[in-house]
Amino acid sequence: MADVRVEVTDLVATVTLQRPPVNALSADMMREITAVFRDLGRGTAAAVAVLTADGDRVFCGGADVDESERRYVRRELIATETVADLIDPGMVVRDCLFSISSGALPVVAAVNGAAVGAGLALVASCDIVIASENAHFALPEINVGVLGGARHAQRLVGLHKAREMMLTGRRVSAEEAERIGLVAAVVDGHGLLPRALEAAEQIAAWAPWGIRLTKRGMWSALEIPEQAAIEYEDRQQIMALHGTAPAEAVTAFLEKRPADFTD
């Protein structure tokens, strides 16, 4: 793939954005991301993924401005697109983000720099967010008279902080992001990927069925009323109990050994 690199080691997939200079999301790049996460979710080679980017300055600078103007304003087809893309130009963006948030695998974002616009939406689609000290987050669309990312920002920081970010377009530093709960941890640049991989490896050690059901349950709970969410989680719990993992976990505990969830 041209814009995305994928490496899988010990059930952890590392997905790296590599479209210099700022990893701007072109339509082709978003399709690559979609294909990567859908393929990972359908297979068994990985139990969890880390999403990061090359370099130490920019995680993702947002949507490709040249393509956005062509697709949304002039309504011209890009070479790889069809009439369906012309009718619904936002479909490629939604597919990309949903392949992460609605995908089967938990995703740890290792944010190595600026995450703005659609880049912030990428981050919001992940399950755990770890940032380097030089990272910052923003929704600057208001600066050029457009909008986007409200629902994604609300998941990260809540309603009122998301409104502030959208209406002012101001940057949120890594330090502030940790304080308001946008990220789980802030580390120095050299420690970013090791810290993200550490979290991913901890997740990968659990039962694969349980990992996937937990991910599905958490995201589904965001979109339905509280009582329905609790009932849904109960049903997911029943499904998990039919697997082999609970019995193996109990046996391993009694035998004072690590559980083996490979079967």
- Average pLDDT for 171-195: 96
> pLDDT confidence of 71, banded at 50, 70, 90?
low
The pLDDT score that the predictor gives to residue 56 is: 85
Supply the DSSP string of 54-113, one letter for each residue: SSSSEEE--B-HHHHIIIIIS----TT--HHHHH-TTHHHHHHHHHHHSSSS-EEEEE-S
CATH number, domain containing residue 113: 3.90.226.10
Supply the DSSP string of 109-171, one letter for each residue: EEE-SEEETHHHHHHHTSSEEEEETT-EEE-GGGGGT----HHHHHHHH-HHHHHHHHHH---
Q: How far apart are CA 116 and CA 67, in angstroms?
A: 17
Is the same domain home to 212 and 82? Answer: no
Total number of domains constituting the chain: 2
Is the same domain home to 250 and 234? Answer: yes
The answer as to whether 218 is a domain residue is yes
Residue with the bigger pLDDT between 160 and 90: it is 160
Is the same domain home to 30 and 103? Answer: yes
The pLDDT score that the predictor gives to residue 248 is: 55
Other beta carbons less than 10 A from residue 81's beta carbon = 17
Is a pLDDT exceeding 80 seen at residue 9? yes
The answer as to whether 37 is a domain residue is yes
Residue percentage of the chain with pLDDT more than 90: 59
The pLDDT score that the predictor gives to residue 201 is: 97
The pLDDT score that the predictor gives to residue 235 is: 67
Residue percentage of the chain with pLDDT more than 70: 81
pLDDT tens-place string over residues 127-154: 999 999 999 999 988 877 777 788 889 9
Q: Which residues contact 45 (CB under 8 A, 6 or more apart)?
A: 8, 11, 13
The answer as to whether 56 is a domain residue is yes
The answer as to whether 259 is a domain residue is no
Is the same domain home to 77 and 136? Answer: yes
Residue with the bigger pLDDT between 144 and 56: it is 56
Is the same domain home to 39 and 83? Answer: yes
The pLDDT score that the predictor gives to residue 229 is: 66
Q: How far apart are CA 73 and CA 71, in angstroms?
A: 6
Expressed as residue numbers, the domain containing 216 is 208-254
Cis peptide before 140, with omega less than 30 degrees from 0?
no
Is the same domain home to 227 and 125? Answer: no
- Average pLDDT for 66-93: 72
